[in-house]
Amino acid sequence: MSITNKITVKRAEIAVAVILALCSIALMIKSAENRITWNAEENMGAGFLPFYLSLGMLICTILTIIKFVLKRSPQSKDDSPFIDAVAFKFIAVTIISLVVLVLAIGYLGIYFSLIFFLAFYLRYFSEKRISFITIFAITTPILTFLFFEWMLKIPLPQGVSEPLFYPVYDFMYGGFSFAVKMIFIILTVLLPTALVFLTSRFIK
């Protein structure tokens, strides 16, 4: 019996309810670091609202658990798998690759991490040819860069790859005319595409 068959909706329901109850208790304890009292004389303590909101959350999860024990909720009677094996592979790989992506962004910077993320993801899930995947994985970060850094002037994290971008910034904010910049933009998108296209032809 595989793992995905063992995790039934029933088991997931009770496990999640217990985890949420524990989280609510943790929130209550954390809120109690501030004053949680409130009466007519003194103002509301900073911990008052978070404390009672998380108490409410705890009560709701306890009700969910009671409904589960009494078999009142549809999930408490459901013995089907929480997720089927094929979908589990999709979800697990997606989540792991996203976590690796965000880890990599902190170190490598977003643009290079995106190249690896897209290349891996498309290679793993789609049946596209390598030339397509390469073009896609290179042009998407370039477009992201142009959109965020050039149009919106929002710097995205660059990690250790930052020095590589200095010449690009020099060009962007240098005294070049609009036309030169536009030609540059078009070339940055077209060149990698053309390169990949040509190499894929030769390799064949």
Partner 1 sequence: METVGFLLDGIFTSLQWFNLALLIFGCLIGLFVGAMPGLGSVNGVAILIPITFIIPPTAAIIFLAAVYYGAMYGGAISSVMLGIPGASTAVATVFDGRPLAVKGEAMTALTAAAVGSFVGGTVSVILFTLFAPPLAEVALRFNAPETFALMVMAFATFVGLGGDDVPKTIFSILIGLALSTIGLDLITGKPRLIFFNIPGFLHGINFLVLAIGIYGIGEMLWTLEETKGKVQMSKLSVNMKEVGRAFGALKKTIMAMNIGSFLGFFVGILPAAGATPASLMSYGITKQLSKNSKEFGEGVPAGVVAPECANNSASTGSMLPMLTLGIPGSPTTAILLGGMILWGLTPGPLLFTQEPEFVWGLIGSLYIANFFTLVLNIALIPAFLMVLRIPFAILAPVIFVLCVTGGYAPTQSLHDVWLMLLFGFAGYILRKLDYPVAPAVLSIVLGPLAEKALRQSLILSDGSMGIFFDVSEKPIAAVIMYIAIVLLIMPAFGPLYRRLFKKKQTA
> Which residues sit at the interface with partner 1, rule CB under 8 A?
9, 12-13, 16, 20, 27, 30-31, 34, 38-41, 43-47, 49-50, 53-54, 56-57, 60-61, 63-64, 67, 73-75, 82-83, 86-87, 90-91, 94-95, 98-99, 101-102, 105-106, 110, 114, 117-118, 121-122, 125-126, 128, 136, 140, 144, 147-148, 151-157
Contact 169, 100 (CB under 8 A): no
Beta carbon nearer to partner 1, 87 or 183:
87
Beta carbon nearer to partner 1, 4 or 188:
4
CB atoms under 10 Å from CB of 22, counted, come to 12
Beta carbon nearer to partner 1, 66 or 183:
66
CB atoms under 10 Å from CB of 45, counted, come to 16
Helical ranges in 32-177 per DSSP H: 48-69, 85-108, 110-125, 130-145, 162-173
Nearest approach, Cβ of residue 40 and partner 1 (Å): 4
Please count the residues of the chain.
204
Beta carbon nearer to partner 1, 87 or 182:
87
Instruction: Please provide residue 190's backbone torsions phi and psi, each rounded to the nearest 5 degrees.
Output: -75, -40
Beta carbon nearer to partner 1, 45 or 192:
45
Q: Which two tokens stand for residue 139?
A: 């042009």
Nearest approach, Cβ of residue 202 and partner 1 (Å): 26
Query: H/E element holding 140?
Result: helix 130-145
CA separation for the pair 149, 167 (Å, rounded) = 14
Nearest approach, Cβ of residue 134 and partner 1 (Å): 14
Nearest approach, Cβ of residue 53 and partner 1 (Å): 4
Beta carbon nearer to partner 1, 44 or 69:
44
Residues 6+ apart with CB under 8 A from 62: 21
Sign of the C-alpha dihedral computed for residues 67, 70, 76 and 78 taken in this order: negative
Nearest approach, Cβ of residue 18 and partner 1 (Å): 13
